[in-house]
Every structure is written in structure tokens, then in C-alpha cells.
Chains A and B, each alone.
Chain A
Amino acid sequence: MPNSSSPTQAPGGIRPNGGTEQGRTASRPANPADAEVLARAQAGDHEAFAHLYSLHKRRIYSLCLRMVGNVAEAEDLTQEAFLQLHRKIATFRGDSAFSTWLHRLAINVVLMQLRKKGLALISLDEAMEPAPEEGPSRSFGAPDLTLSGAIDRLALERAVADLPTGYRLIFILHDVEGFEHNEIASMLDCSIGNSKSQLHKARLKLRDALRSQKRPEERP
């Protein structure tokens, strides 16, 4: 039976690295209690589904928010991702970690939304192949600005928001959410090498952007 209580206070907000939802995330071994909750949700137990939501809501919402940069849109996308999860959860067979599978589902929801908004992006394949002119500059020339000291959060947010979609996705999944390259490769149907390469290009492009945001008087 549906349980109308909010799952926001569900116990043990477990992150995939075994920490709490407050912390940075990475993979963690399967937790038997989580597996039981998942099995019950797959069998149609609404309370278990609510518990799953409480376990994963922050990561999915944060991913959506970082990808679209808009609170209302991120809320809608989170809702859609979990509705799709509800429809499809019985098809999860455990070929990958549940969190990886859920993120893949959410990523597709986000990319679909970006396509609706008219961005030149159709699929994961396209997200992973930014146009050459969108790539980072090379670093073999004369010395230029150095990023020293603390990076301003707003500056980094702006720079991340301006990344091509594929770079942004990889950067958020790896550097913000803490997924490993093998997990990202599974989510995005790409090779581990491609994940590493795209992350490197994303960081290079962020470096370019952060340098260009520095005011002239701050430059050495």
C-alpha cells in the first residue's frame, strides 16, 4: 500500500561510498539491507520505493541541478527520473550497481530535456562528442595565467555551466559525485579510456574558463 509519509527522514542516508548523503560519493559494496529494500520495491512495495527515493534523491537532484542550472527544472527532472524508476524498477536485473543504473536513467531524462530545449544534443553519443571548436586549448605555448589559491564557487559554477554537455556530465559524475571511470563508462555506454579523456578535456576547459574570468588586476 502506498505510504504517504515523506521519505526525507529515512534512516541511514546511505551514499554509494557507504557514507551519508551529505558526503562526496563513490562506489560502495552492496549493502544487504539496501538489496532487500530494492527487492521489495521491485515487488511493488511502496514504502520500500519511498526508502529508495530517500537514499538516492540528493544525488539525482544534485545531478539534475548541475546539468540544467535551474531549480524548478531540476525538481521536474528529479520527479520524472523517479517516476521512470517506478515504471522500470522491475526490469533491473543487477547487471550493474543499482545506483549506476538509476543514474543512467536520470541522465537520459536530463538529456531528453536538453533536447526539448533545442540544444544541439540528441543522445549520449552526441553528448560524448563535443564539436572540435568546443574542446580545450592546448598547453604547449608560452606561460600564461596560473590558477593559484582558492577557486571561487560562483566562478566555478559559471565555468561548469558553460561546458559542453558531455564534458559537464563527466565532470559532475566524476569530480562532483565521485563515480569511478568504470561506473561512468557503464552509465554512458563508452569506454573507460573515453571517460578519462573526456574528464581531462573538461578540466582543461574549466582551467581555460577560470583563467579568462580572472580580472586583469588579479593577473600576475
Chain B
Amino acid sequence: MTGDDGKMSCADFQAQLPELIGSGVDVSNHPHLATCDRCSALLAELETIAEAARQLFPSVEPPDEVWQQIESAIKREGN
């Protein structure tokens, strides 16, 4: 399926997508997306997932007991 101007298929575009996204360029300006709703939707969904990961998974503080156990183990190993 080409789904656009016939110059690039969805398969070809999606094959390039990991590199395009990973390179940090603004993929939304890619010519294929101007005429392909499916790949535009795909890109939007992937961006939604990445954004959700940033928003929904804050770092978590370990309880103090973890450090206490580390200290105890270090002391045991030092003996």
C-alpha cells in the first residue's frame, strides 16, 4: 500500500521510522505524512505513548531500610 503520492509506501516509511524518530528530527514534517492518515495516526500514537511514559512513571524513592541493609552488608564484608 502506498497510501500517498506513490513515491513512498507506508512500509518504506515505517521501516525508516525508528531511525527518523531516534535522530531527533521533526518527523511530522515528513512528506509521506502529508498524504497518509494512517502513518500520521501511527506517529501520533507512538508520541502519545512516549509522552505518557514521561508523565505517568515518576521515579520512586526506595525505603530507608534498603540503605541500612546495604550498610550492614558492607560492614559484614569488611570483617
Contact = CB atoms under 8 A, between A and B. Distances in A.
Interface of A: 2, 4, 6-8, 21-22, 24-25, 46, 49-50, 53, 57-59, 61-62, 65-66, 74-75, 78-79, 82-83, 86-87, 138-140, 143, 146-147, 150-151, 153, 156-157, 160, 171-172, 175-178, 181, 192-193, 195-197, 199-201, 203-204, 206-207, 210
B8 interface: no
B25 interface: no
A15 B4 CA distance: 44
Contact of B45 (A58, A140, A160, A207): A207
A196 B66 contact: no
Nearest 10 Cβ contacts at the A-B interface:
A196-B22, A200-B18, A175-B53, A61-B62, A151-B52, A153-B56, A58-B59, A62-B59, A196-B18, A147-B45
B70 A176 contact: no
A130 B60 CA distance: 28
Nearest to A192: B22
Given A139-B10, A207-B45, A21 B59 contact: yes
Interface string B1-16: 1000000001100100
A146 B45 contact: yes
A82 to B, nearest CB: 5
Main secondary structure of the interface of B (DSSP, over half): helix
A207 to B, nearest CB: 5
A151 B52 CA distance: 6
B64 A59 contact: no
Nearest to A195: B22
Interface footprint category on B: 35 or more
A143 B36 CA distance: 12
Contacts of B60: 58, 61-62, 65
A197 B18 contact: yes
B41 to A, nearest CB: 6
Contacts of A156: 49, 52-53, 56-57
Contacts of A25: 59
A105 to B, nearest CB: 14
Contact of A66 (B1, B57, B70, B75): B57
